């Protein structure tokens, strides 16, 4: 039983770390693109077009991430229920 509990805890920790890493990567992407604009010599209209594309796509990505987080939470809840059921059987 302890092994199952440890596995569930490890999975939950990795889920949280993954979420945090993805959020950081999204933020870094925006910063990198903005920095690149200065060296590219783009017009303001070109910069705006690129930023609009990125904003739309990042918005879609965030929506998918949120759905993935909900799925992660659902799996975590399922794991807790399984651990609880196993506990009852073993006791």
State the total domains in the chain: 1
Q: Which position has the token pair 């993935």?
A: 68
Number of H helices, E strands in the chain: 2, 0
Amino acid 46: pLDDT = 92
User: Could you say which DSSP state residue 62 is in?
Assistant: H
User: 47-86: per-residue pLDDT in tens?
Assistant: 999 989 998 998 898 888 888 888 888 888 888 888 788 8
Q: Give the domain range for residue 85.
A: 2-90
Closest by alpha carbon to 57, among 28, 26, 35, 36? 26
pTM, rounded to two decimals: 0.62
- Alpha-carbon distance of 66 to 17, in angstroms, equals 15
Which CB contacts under 8 angstroms, 24+ apart, belong to 46-51? none
């Amino acid at each position: 039983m302890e092994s199952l509990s440890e596995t569930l805890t490890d999975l939950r920790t990795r889920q949280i770390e993954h979420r945090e890493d993805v959020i950081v990567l999204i933020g870094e992407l925006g910063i990198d693109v903005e920095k690149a604009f200065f060296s590219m010599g783009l017009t303001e209209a070109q910069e705006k077009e690129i930023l609009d594309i990125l904003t739309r796509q990042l918005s879609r990505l965030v929506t998918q991430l949120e759905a993935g987080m909900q799925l992660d939470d659902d799996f975590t809840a399922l794991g807790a229920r399984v651990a609880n059921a196993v506990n009852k059987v073993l006791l």
